[in-house]
Structure 1
Amino acid sequence: MSAAASKWGDLGPRVLSAIIMLAIGVAAVWAGGLWIHLLVSTACGMMVWELTRMLAGTDGQKSLWLPLVSGAALFVASYTPIDTIILPLLLAPSLVGFSQLKSANRPFAGRRIFMFYTAVILIAGFSLIALRDDFGIIWMLWLLLVVIVTDVAGYFAGKMLGGPKFWPRVSPKKTWSGTAAGWVGAAVVGMIFAQTVGGGGMVVLISVAVALASQLGDIAESAIKRHVGVKDSSNLIPGHGGLLDRFDGMLGAALLLIIVEFFVAFPPNTLG
């Protein structure tokens, strides 16, 4: 196989898998309600399963109940009318996992990673559900498009332009050219939505910030894989690896959104 063919060898499976995932995601986003709650809760539970397998090694089979608890906690939280108990619900699986997870490879570090990243997964999942429930299909599609365009623009620019690495120690394939292309792509999406839906320049700025958060989410997951010495979080998705490999950027983007929403709802001068 030539170098060029090898360079693009994973494109076919990636595109097919992406089309299938996009179709499922768009259908759930369009339907809303129970369907988006179920899809996001199930996906987040499966991400926790991948995280547990990576961190727990041979003891992972003993901790398969953690993903079930995580997905159930998110699903229950999405229907909880009392705001004050939502965060404890989302954090409970992290704390339980911290006390129960066993790992032969630096066990305390593995438990800390599980606690932190499981919290990120569930809070980001709740952010996605809240975005669809509270702001409707348009802004949910905006987020999906920003993350997808950031990833696609970064993939092709990185492959074609190459250049200096963004953070070679953690993510050796990510380049500055791909990173910058992702920002440009996100800005274009933001401009389109600002023109058609409204929001002005703020939508463009938030789109670029979401793109950066998406890229940092990708890097965070890469750091975990490097810590445990695996290439992919799992092999569930042909051409992409696991759900964490595919949706790590979405986790980062959704986490940023819920932080922004919190500070809009509760400005710093009201918290002191």
Structure 2
Amino acid sequence: MSGEPRWADLAPRFTTAALMIFVGVGEIWLGGWLFALGIWLLAGVMMWELSRLLAPTAHGTAMALGVGASVVMAVVWFMPGFAALPLMGALAIVGAGRFEGRQGMFLGSALAILVACYVMELLRNYGGVSWLLWVIGIVIMSDIAGYFAGKMLGGPKFWPAVSPKKTWSGTIAGWIGAALVGLGFAGATDAGGWLIPLSVLVCFAGQMGDIGESAVKRQVGAKDSSGLLPGHGGFLDRFDAMIGAALAVGILWLLGLVPGL
């Protein structure tokens, strides 16, 4: 009897995740405009969800910022390197002015969404499929390992004041899963064993992305960013860890700390 509530969300989570993986793998494999279009749309949806979280009744603002995010990501596709950052920053700053009392929350979250999406575009264009799959693999393995370890082992909470469901057992299981992903990609990318600890670091950044989004939802009293994805909530709920991981990879890449990338 107690087992049913514990695993009640597994079926919808699995179905939605399988569909997302199918679409995502196709986009990644095709690359080019199709992958970029997917990123533009994803940025727009996540910005819309963020805006709705911070101002649930401001439907026009949420829609405008969602469309604005997609347009900005489309424009920066044609811009070289860091020239894209001021435009993304401008949208975040202008949007922040629409959320009285929550300007900082919107500014930080919006910048994270836009820059992370931009990093994923750069990874696919310049790093290739293998490096993009490395990041995605870390996030997915961490999520799967953390989900099952947390459900089966339970134990002390990782940060109960912010994310009451996340446990230390699930967090550590995520690190182990990430290390295994790093081990698998170490040879495939010619990066060597150094990729293993880097994978754990990227995993931790992804977990902090999850925690960060949980903190935002806790501040506004929301359970999910939206109901667009059965079993997962919204796209922001599903990609919060990917945002954190992508930001970490972007910094490591910029500093030249990822061998072979």
TM-score with structure 2 length normalisation? 0.95
3-state SS of paired residue (1:163) = coil
**In structure 2, how many angstroms separate the alpha carbons of the residues matched to 1:254 and 1:138?**
14
Residue 135 of structure 1 and its aligned partner are, at CA, apart by: 0.7
1:95 has 2:87 as partner: no
User: CA 1:156–1:63 in structure 2 vs 1: closer, same or farther (change >3 Å)?
Assistant: closer
User: CA 1:67–1:161 in structure 2 vs 1: closer, same or farther (change >3 Å)?
Assistant: same
* Equivalent residues in 2 for 1:170-185, closer than 5 Å: 170-185=162-177
Residue 25 of structure 2 is matched in structure 1 by 26
Residue 11 of structure 2 is matched in structure 1 by 12
Partner residue of 1:259 out of 242, 251, 256? 251
4+ residue runs of structure 1 moved beyond 3 angstroms? 60-63
Residue 84 of structure 1 and its aligned partner are, at CA, apart by: 4.4
* Equivalent residues in 2 for 1:70-89, closer than 5 Å: 70-81=69-80, 83-89=81-87
* Equivalent residues in 2 for 1:123-272, closer than 5 Å: 123-264=115-256
Contact 1:191 1:204 in 2 (8 A): yes
**In structure 2, how many angstroms separate the alpha carbons of the residues matched to 1:261 and 1:161?**
35
**In structure 1, how many angstroms separate the alpha carbons of the residues matched to 2:201 and 2:188?**
20
Where does structure 1 lack aligned partners over 5 or more consecutive residues?
266-272
Where does structure 2 lack aligned partners over 5 or more consecutive residues?
none
- Deviation track 1:170-199 (CA, whole Å, cap 9, x = no partner) reads 000000000000000000111111133321
User: CA 1:62–1:139 in structure 2 vs 1: closer, same or farther (change >3 Å)?
Assistant: closer
3-state SS of paired residue (2:225) = coil
Contact 1:74 1:89 in 2 (8 A): no
Which amino acid in 1 is paired with 2:47?
Answer: V
- Deviation track 1:48-101 (CA, whole Å, cap 9, x = no partner) reads 0000001012123344211111111112112213x34211111121011012x1
**In structure 1, how many angstroms separate the alpha carbons of the residues matched to 2:172 and 2:92?**
34
**In structure 2, how many angstroms separate the alpha carbons of the residues matched to 1:6 and 1:189?**
30
Which amino acid in 1 is paired with 2:137?
Answer: L
**In structure 2, how many angstroms separate the alpha carbons of the residues matched to 1:59 and 1:137?**
39
**In structure 2, how many angstroms separate the alpha carbons of the residues matched to 1:248 and 1:124?**
10
Which amino acid in 2 is paired with 1:202?
Answer: W
Which amino acid in 1 is paired with 2:90?
Answer: A
Of 220-229 and 84-93, more deviation after overlay is shown by 84-93
Contact 2:183 2:196 in 1 (8 A): yes
Instruction: Tell me the percent identity.
Output: 46
Which amino acid in 1 is paired with 2:87?
Answer: L
TM-score with structure 1 length normalisation? 0.92
Contact 1:37 1:129 in 2 (8 A): yes
Contact 1:216 1:249 in 2 (8 A): yes
Which amino acid in 2 is paired with 1:28?
Answer: E
3-state SS of paired residue (1:30) = helix
**In structure 2, how many angstroms separate the alpha carbons of the residues matched to 1:231 and 1:84?**
35
- How big is the alpha-carbon RMSD for the aligned residues of Structure 1 and Structure 2? 1.2
